[in-house]
Structure 1
């Protein structure tokens, strides 16, 4: 009589979600703006009908859907900006000025884009669209757009925080309150990873490569990324230079995990790792990979 195979261990939530991540993120923004446009269109039609004001059904559709489509087209720019200038509890005051400037730029692009689409829609119906007094209307639109922009920024940052918690966020081991540290603090041998309600240690030697991402550095370990709040330059200064090498402005690689290096005609190179991943190597850092 043969023993039945042991049931497979349940897949972690992060592993189940990551293959769906892109679809969920894109779907969220599409559904959000399309639903908002549909509801606002229906509301505008009901308001005009209730007040007895004449209006063509396509007009509120042109107003609301032009706004939604331009807002949707600007989502990648907001995502890039929040990644370039991430907000944290200890830095948010310094970020107020660039975020205020970004909200103004976002509003201008939004208004110009939606007015252009509305003019096209009205022209297609043999009519013309008048935005009105531009200075006053721009200020009015900015008041609404600033709230929309702030809501997008909050949504993106909260989502990223939850994603880091789910994937596991790394931190450096701090020096003990009393007594000497077990290992050198300035040359870390392990990192602490907090994942939901669990904590575990990751050996520095197990890190395959690192990539800068805004105010974080993603540590790649066994196919998983653990974000560590640091700069790539700070990490380079604390790692063993005989084992870890900077290969590009945003990448550090563990030499033990390199399978091959592919030279490119441009003078740069591709670094092929043992797990099948490929990371870029710029000409500036290529010499560092040659055996000494």
Structure 2
């Protein structure tokens, strides 16, 4: 496509912009989980080989490798879906009761999909080397795998949520300033000049004027401040009402920017645009919001 409607990594530019901020953390997560599961598969193959050597038994290295790595690759593929689901429907103190049924059904879906993908990969791999693969009889073999898969699924759900919790604790989580128990508030709560950020057990104030842009993420809005994202539990619409419209502009249903952090506007085919921010990020601007953005900037 031309420059105005170019494709980036297989996605339209306006879609690619929406993952610009999250990409480094996503790549780190992919690298970590890939290393964990693939190294575990390699370790299992080695353990099978050492056991066969100890017992003076023949060792089918190729078949064992196919079985272990097919299971690891299937788990990695499903982990991508699980990670997206936990971000979209996280378990919190006020949400877990109505979402726990969804996660229980997810365990059954994980089992069926994992076994199906694993068997398909094994059949393909064995066929490539001129052999035939038989998984096992139903229902014994499938339910044997069921207990293993549910255990793996449960541990991964806990691990993904724990990693998200620790990440928020490490980087900080923003809160709107609340009304004080006694005396008048330091500033108008409806139009806060600061956000309260909790980070590793400490609290400090982040000036609203320092927020460069914000992106909706499930039940949260991530506030971007000096290279860090501070999740704020609020909807984008509610946040927009709290911020000064002379300073902050809505560019997309999931994005809001500080007008002082906007460096340039790049029009795209279809009427959308990419907004290039001072820190190098690219924020999407929808076709509906672009005229409003230009009018607000012209008025300035």
TM-score (norm 2): 0.81
Pairing 1:141–2:139 present = no
- Aligned partner of 1:163 in structure 2 is 167
Indicate the SS of the match to 2:288.
helix
Question: 1:87-126 counterparts in 2 under 5 A?
Answer: 87-126=91-130
Q: CA deviation at 1:267?
A: 0.8
Pairing 1:221–2:229 present = no
Supply the distance in 2 between the matched residues of 1:31 and 1:221 (Cα, whole angstroms). 31
- Aligned partner of 2:238 in structure 1 is 234
Pairing 1:58–2:62 present = yes
Aligned Cα RMSD in Å? 2.7
Q: How has the CA–CA distance of structure 1 residues 19 and 283 changed in structure 2, closer, same or farther, with 3 Å as cutoff? A: closer
Higher relative contact order (CA 8 A, sep 6+): 2
Question: 1:199-278 counterparts in 2 under 5 A?
Answer: 199-278=203-282
Q: Specify which of 104, 129, 133 is matched with residue 129 of structure 1.
A: 133
Higher mean C-alpha displacement, 117-126 vs 84-93:
117-126
Pairing 1:154–2:129 present = no
Residue-by-residue CA offset, 1:13-59 (whole Å, 9 max, x unaligned): xxxxx998566533321232123223333444566778888763433
Higher mean C-alpha displacement, 186-195 vs 258-267:
258-267
Indicate the SS of the match to 2:196.
strand
Q: CA deviation at 1:73?
A: 2.6
Indicate the SS of the match to 2:40.
helix
- Unaligned ranges ≥5, structure 2: 1-21
Higher mean C-alpha displacement, 222-231 vs 130-139:
130-139
Supply the distance in 2 between the matched residues of 1:137 and 1:19 (Cα, whole angstroms). 39
Q: CA deviation at 1:142?
A: 2.4
Supply the distance in 2 between the matched residues of 1:179 and 1:282 (Cα, whole angstroms). 43
